[in-house]
């Protein structure tokens, strides 16, 4: 198979030359080869930190072409270059989320996180920017995680009912935090003040009878972890159902009728007409249905039926339908389907900030709301990454840097590495934890297959290897020196440390 890989010759420096390579590999083998390398930028500026757009049509990158570092975007084929930011600060792209770019802005001893909507941008002035953090602290190491949203289920009523004062209700649950607010609206009118809300249910009985017709109700649930969900259900109140016939038929004396029922009061009046002629006198009317069979055969073609039902409560319902007798060509029909809603998740951004006095892990919504502190120790915590429903991070709580893990709400903190050396820079690749360690005296890449077990050293040279990252063709890409004073070059290896091969030699130190 063939894949395209972006090559950035960078280790501790922020920027380097952007390149693109075609790589091929045997899916089950250890052999890697680079078949072509293409330079995407060619100017006197420093260009680096490439980030794909969501659909792979554009490439964000940082460049000091304008004097300071700004974020730029160009098409995947390196055409149509657009400057995204033009502030005095240095801006660097981080990752994309739903057509938005998350980037960091560094200026005057602080760094802040921003979101830029670049979908329709043709210049920096077209870009809508939202500050996630906008203060004098260092806000760094952002990563994207997904947390469970509140669940809403068993919404009643649905489909068709005959009761004009139905119990409108829904159950809800919240596995991430606790429910903090529940609202219910009917046909976009908020009726929350008249509802009954328990720990898991919201219910509402209309204060006035509803007329027959179509309705919708929406339940919204918010949590104290700044997540929310909303769900809408549609229902119809009708006294007339199961109309017949509908569509095409090949008889001129069909039985025409419908079921009737009234859950609010009793039926007081029923009428039926065919082609605007009242035929009630010749129809059979019971408490549960009305039927009429034409005395005179109907002519070929389309016919219209109107049924009307009125209740003792003064509420009425009418229904119109058509059918075709002996059509010239067959009628076609259709169908539909449904499904059970699945658990949904909301994106969150986790990052490290010293706003509490030392560095801690914080969480925020992508729109800048819902800032929450996840760690509060006197030590420094940084470099958070999402790992399923948990967060892996670095802490110097025990005197040196170690890898820790906690739930995505900040609970159940657990130390994963306990060596006297420093372990840091965790990253998740193929559902495994990779990290750096100076246990050997220089930086090496290590693998932790399963929380706190099966730690394995993957690189063994006497110089530094670092910055492991995901590869689209399997394995990992990393940076390595070939000598103590040499530049960093890009290498690739399998996730078990085998199959090491150099990808690209660069001149960035």
pLDDT at 6: 45
Residue with tokens 């602290």: 137
Cα–Cα separations (whole angstroms), residue 69 to 51, 53, 64, 161, 418: 15, 19, 4, 63, 39
Give a yes or no: residue 477 inside a domain: no
pLDDT at 95 over 60: yes
CATH of the domain at 167: 2.60.40.1220
Res. 502 pLDDT band, cuts 50 70 90: confident
Q: How far apart are CA 111 and CA 435, in angstroms?
A: 24
Q: Clarify whether residues 277 and 306 are in a common domain.
A: yes
Residue with tokens 């930011």: 85
Picking from 237, 266, 282, the residue at the C-terminal end of a domain is 237
Give a yes or no: residue 5 inside a domain: no
* pLDDT tens digits for range 388-403: 899 999 999 999 999 9
Res. 475 pLDDT band, cuts 50 70 90: confident
Q: Clarify whether residues 203 and 232 are in a common domain.
A: yes
Give a yes or no: residue 284 inside a domain: yes
Phi, psi of 86 (to 5 degrees): -145, 35
Give a yes or no: residue 261 inside a domain: yes
The pairing of beta strand 345-353 with beta strand 139-148: antiparallel
Give a yes or no: residue 81 inside a domain: no
Picking from 218, 237, 256, the residue at the C-terminal end of a domain is 237
Least-confidence region, from 113-122, 152-161, 375-384: 113-122
pLDDT at 15: 33
Question: Under 8 Å CB-to-CB from 485, ≥6 apart: which residues?
Answer: none
Picking from 260, 291, 325, the residue at the C-terminal end of a domain is 325
pLDDT at 7: 44
Res. 369 pLDDT band, cuts 50 70 90: very high
Res. 9 pLDDT band, cuts 50 70 90: very low
Q: Clarify whether residues 281 and 204 are in a common domain.
A: no
Residue 490 and residue 478 in contact, taking contact as beta carbons nearer than 8 Å: yes
Residue 139 and residue 351 in contact, taking contact as beta carbons nearer than 8 Å: yes
**How open is the CA angle 222-225-226, to the nearest 5 degrees?**
55
Average pLDDT, the chain: 85
pLDDT at 139: 94
Q: Clarify whether residues 227 and 289 are in a common domain.
A: no
Helices (H) then strands (E): counts for the chain = 0, 45
pLDDT at 129 over 60: yes
pLDDT at 472 over 60: yes
Least-confidence region, from 50-54, 86-90, 376-380: 50-54
In this prediction the pTM is 0.77
pLDDT at 504: 54
- Helix H or strand E encompassing 113: strand 110-117
Residues in the chain: 509
Q: How far apart are CA 222 and CA 423, in angstroms?
A: 38
Q: How far apart are CA 344 and CA 335, in angstroms?
A: 27
Q: Clarify whether residues 257 and 228 are in a common domain.
A: no
Identify the domain containing residue 309 by its residue range. 245-325
Q: What percent of the chain has pLDDT over 90?
A: 59
Q: How many domains does the chain have?
A: 2
């Amino acid at each position: 198979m063939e894949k395209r890989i972006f090559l950035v010759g960078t280790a501790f420096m922020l920027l380097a030359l952007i390149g693109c390579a075609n790589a091929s590999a045997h899916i089950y083998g250890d052999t890697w080869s680079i078949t072509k390398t293409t330079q995407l930028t060619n100017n006197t500026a420093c260009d680096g930190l490439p980030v794909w757009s969501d659909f792979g049509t554009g490439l964000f990158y940082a460049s000091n072409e304008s004097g300071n570092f700004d974020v730029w975007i160009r098409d995947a084929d390196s055409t149509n270059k657009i400057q995204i930011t033009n502030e005095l600060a240095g801006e660097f792209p981080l990752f994309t989320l739903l057509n938005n770019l998350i980037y960091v802005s560094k200026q005057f001893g602080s760094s802040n996180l921003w979101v830029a909507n670049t979908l329709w941008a043709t210049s920096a002035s077209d870009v809508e920017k939202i500050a996630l953090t906008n203060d004098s602290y260092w806000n760094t190491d952002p990563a994207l995680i997904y947390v469970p949203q509140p669940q809403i289920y068993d919404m009643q009523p649905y489909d068709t009912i005959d009761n004009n004062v139905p119990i409108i209700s829904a159950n809800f649950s919240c596995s991430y935090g606790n429910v903090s607010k529940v609202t219910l609206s009917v046909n976009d009118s908020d009726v929350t003040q008249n509802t009954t809300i328990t720990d898991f249910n919201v219910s509402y009985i209309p204060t006035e009878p509803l007329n027959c017709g179509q309705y919708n109700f929406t339940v919204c649930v918010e949590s104290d972890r700044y997540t929310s969900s909303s769900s809408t259900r549609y229902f119809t109140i009708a006294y007339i159902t199961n109309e017949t016939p509908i569509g095409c038929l090949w008889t001129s004396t069909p039985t025409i009728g419908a079921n009737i029922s009234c859950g609010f009061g009793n039926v007081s009046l029923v009428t039926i007409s065919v082609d605007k002629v009242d035929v009630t006198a010749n129809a059979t009317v019971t408490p549960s249905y009305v039927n009429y069979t034409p005395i005179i055969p109907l002519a070929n073609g389309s016919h219209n039926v109107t049924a009307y039902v009125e209740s003792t409560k003064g509420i009425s319902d009418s229904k119109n339908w058509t059918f075709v007798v002996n059509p010239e060509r067959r009628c076609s029909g259709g169908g539909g389907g449904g499904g059970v809603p699945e658990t949904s998740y909301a994106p969150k951004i986790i990052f490290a900030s010293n706003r509490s006095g030392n560095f801690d892990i914080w969480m925020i919504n992508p729109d800048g709301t819902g800032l929450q502190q996840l760690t509060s120790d006197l030590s420094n915590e940084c470099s958070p990454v999402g790992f399923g429903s948990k967060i892996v991070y670095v802490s110097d709580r025990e005197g040196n840097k170690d890898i820790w893990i906690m739930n995505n709400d900040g609970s159940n903190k657990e130390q994963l590495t306990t060596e006297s050396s420093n372990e840091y820079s965790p990253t998740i690749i193929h559902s495994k934890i990779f990290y750096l360690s100076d246990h050997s005296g220089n930086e090496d890449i290590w693998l932790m297959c399963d929380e706190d077990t099966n730690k394995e050293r993957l690189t063994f040279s006497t110089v530094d290897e670092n910055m492991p990252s995901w590869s689209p063709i399997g394995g990992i890409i990393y940076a390595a020196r070939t000598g103590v004073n040499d530049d960093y070059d890009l290498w690739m290896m399998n996730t078990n440390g085998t199959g090491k091969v150099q990808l690209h030699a660069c001149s960035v130190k």
